[in-house]
Structure 1
């Protein structure tokens, strides 16, 4: 498998960052987190045009692991990806992880709970429209992560 450009998508608390870091260590490929493009150093939301420009610049590189949302740039990433991973553990587990990680941040809990209804369709469409040369994976359980890592 030519895992040189890996796109990881999924809801809050799905395990995207953790998987990205594991893959980066194994494959020696840089990780880019979309959340870092969304907010500046002081936590303020950046303009959509700036977010999109940053994520698209990452996607234009030779090697990358880009994890996170910003569905406006999904097609840019998916068109260059060699591997597409959709993290889809059960909603209860994602909400639990967000609760533990973010200490009762109700806004994040809300979006974690609502993710499937709001964005899940776009994630499914992106996975389904991947080219025949793109390896696609849906991660539901830890066992699925283990299988992905073995294939690399």
Structure 2
């Protein structure tokens, strides 16, 4: 694993997972939310976002952490990934985590609640089209995350 894309609904624990995986694999972690949202919390235009990702994905080693829902352009990073991890946790778990971390706007909550019905099919279609060469892991629970990280820690380097 040298180029990892991490996706999943808000509150799934993507950033925590990315940090732990980055430490285990000695890979730099890029939190896409920090790059995508403009100072007024407006989304970056799609064309510019694709360009930013092309630059990021052009590096030889990385974890790109983020799922920007309806604003996202997945193709640039999926085409370069060797591994994709989708954190597909239940709504109740993600909602609880999102509530604990602080205020979110209405658009976030709409995305969170409708993720499996609306966003996940888009993610799955993008994976089928742009990540045929990548190994895809769909983790559905904290136990699955811990098992995955344990296997990574035990793998020979």
Q: TM-score range by the shorter chain?
A: 0.7 to 0.9
Q: Which residue of structure 2 aligns with residue 32 of structure 1?
A: 30
Match of 1:73, SS state, is: coil
Q: Residue by residue, what CA displacement relative to the aligned partner does 1:48-81 show, whole Å, maximum 9, x if unpaired?
A: 2222211221111100100112575322222221
- Backbone CA RMSD of aligned residues: 2.1
Match of 1:29, SS state, is: coil
- Shift of residue 115, structure 1, vs aligned partner: 1.7
1:131 aligns with 2:132: yes
1:95 aligns with 2:95: yes
Which runs of 5 or more structure 1 residues have no equivalent in the other structure? Answer: none
Instruction: Confirm or deny: 8 A CA contact 2:38 2:44 kept in the other structure.
Output: yes
Instruction: Confirm or deny: 8 A CA contact 2:50 2:76 kept in the other structure.
Output: no
TM-score (norm 1): 0.85
Q: In terms of mean alpha carbon deviation, does 20-29 or 123-132 score higher? A: 123-132
TM-score (norm 2): 0.82
1:62 aligns with 2:63: no
- Shift of residue 37, structure 1, vs aligned partner: 2.3
Q: Number of matched residues?
A: 149
Instruction: Confirm or deny: 8 A CA contact 1:86 1:137 kept in the other structure.
Output: yes
- Shift of residue 40, structure 1, vs aligned partner: 2.9
- Shift of residue 42, structure 1, vs aligned partner: 5.0
